[in-house]
Amino acid sequence: MKTRTTLVALALALPLGLAACSTSTEAASTPPSATATGSMTSSDAMAAPASQVFGEACSAVPKDGKGSFSGMATDPVATAASNNPLLSTLVTAVKQAGLVDTLNSAPEVTVFAPTNDAFAKIPADTLKKVLADKPTLTKILTNHVVAGKIAPDQLAGTHKTLAGTELTVEGSGQMFTVGKEKAKVLCGNVPTANATVYIVDTVLLP
């Protein structure tokens, strides 16, 4: 009953947005139709990531360093996220749930990554309770992870999550929404060493 109450509280708290990162980016471009490969050379890592991402919030990602697109492309997904200032709350939650090694060692996954602003819309006391409830937190976080790297041209449709639930993605081109919350993809097709990341404006509840 406690878990159900927590999830209901979260559901009521989540008409989320990302007003702080609503500017357009010159780096955004039409994503390639080819599926991302599991490995890349160092020169590919430097050249490819910034050209294949899309979305209005991509301009908020650092231009260089480990948290940049080229920096994240060479690290496994949990490590890559830990270097991105947009995703620090998500990283805290992943650490609390003990999922860092699970995500970093996964052969290929797609991660729908809620921004800090998404988590900030959750009442502080509710978020604190969820972070302290490992089974509930794990269920919520794994609801954001799908097996396999999914390219933009394969994104629309229903995908099974690591939580055993299903996420339906709607849209095409560079405009997508995810799950029953209709979470908006703010910056998509972001490569890491073992994952493709779509940064979203809403926490996706199981």
Among 24, 64, 73, 15, CA closest to 187? 24
pLDDT tens digits, 37-74: 344 343 443 445 567 999 999 998 989 999 999 999 99
Q: How many CA atoms lie within 13 A of 191 on its CB side?
A: 25
CA distances from 41 to 37, 45, 147, 193 (A): 11, 6, 23, 11
Per-position DSSP letters for 44-77, written without gaps between them = HHHHSHHHH-BSTTGGGS-SSSTTSHHHHTTS-H
Q: Distance between CA atoms of 39 and 85, rounded to whole angstroms?
A: 24
CATH among 3.40.50.720, 1.10.357.10, 3.90.45.10, 2.30.180.10 for 2-200: 2.30.180.10
As to burial, measured by CB atoms within 10 angstroms (0-12 exposed, 13-18 middle, 19+ buried), residue 97 is: buried
Q: For position 122, what pLDDT does the model report?
A: 86
Mean pLDDT (the chain, rounded): 82
Q: For position 49, what pLDDT does the model report?
A: 58
Q: For position 198, what pLDDT does the model report?
A: 98
pLDDT tens digits, 78-124: 999 999 999 999 999 999 999 999 999 999 999 999 999 999 988 89
The residue with greater pLDDT, 159 or 49, is 159
pTM of structure: 0.77
Q: Calculate ∠ Cα 131-137-138, nearest 5°.
A: 140
Q: Is 81 helix (H, G, I), strand (E, B) or coil?
A: helix
Contacts of 159 (CB under 8 A, 6+ apart): 110, 146, 150, 166, 167, 168, 169
Over residues 144-164, mean pLDDT? 97
Over residues 145-169, mean pLDDT? 97
In which band, very low, low, confident or very high, does the pLDDT at 129 lie, cut at 50, 70 and 90? very high
Over residues 147-171, mean pLDDT? 97
Domain layout of the chain by residue ranges? 2-200
Q: Beta-carbon neighbour count of residue 125 at 10 Å?
A: 9
Is it the case that residue 5 has pLDDT exceeding 70? no
Is it the case that residue 148 has pLDDT exceeding 50? yes
Q: Are strands 195-200 and 109-114 parallel, antiparallel or unpaired?
A: parallel
Q: For position 50, what pLDDT does the model report?
A: 64
Q: Are strands 145-147 and 157-160 parallel, antiparallel or unpaired?
A: unpaired
Contact 171, 156 (CB under 8 A): yes
* Share of the chain residues as helix, strand and coil, in percent rounded to the nearest 5: 40, 20, 40
Q: For position 206, what pLDDT does the model report?
A: 87
Output phi, psi for 182, to 5 deg.
Answer: 55, 45
Facing residues of 168 across strands? 158
Over residues 6-19, mean pLDDT? 39
Q: Which helix (H) or strand (E) holds 177?
A: strand 175-178
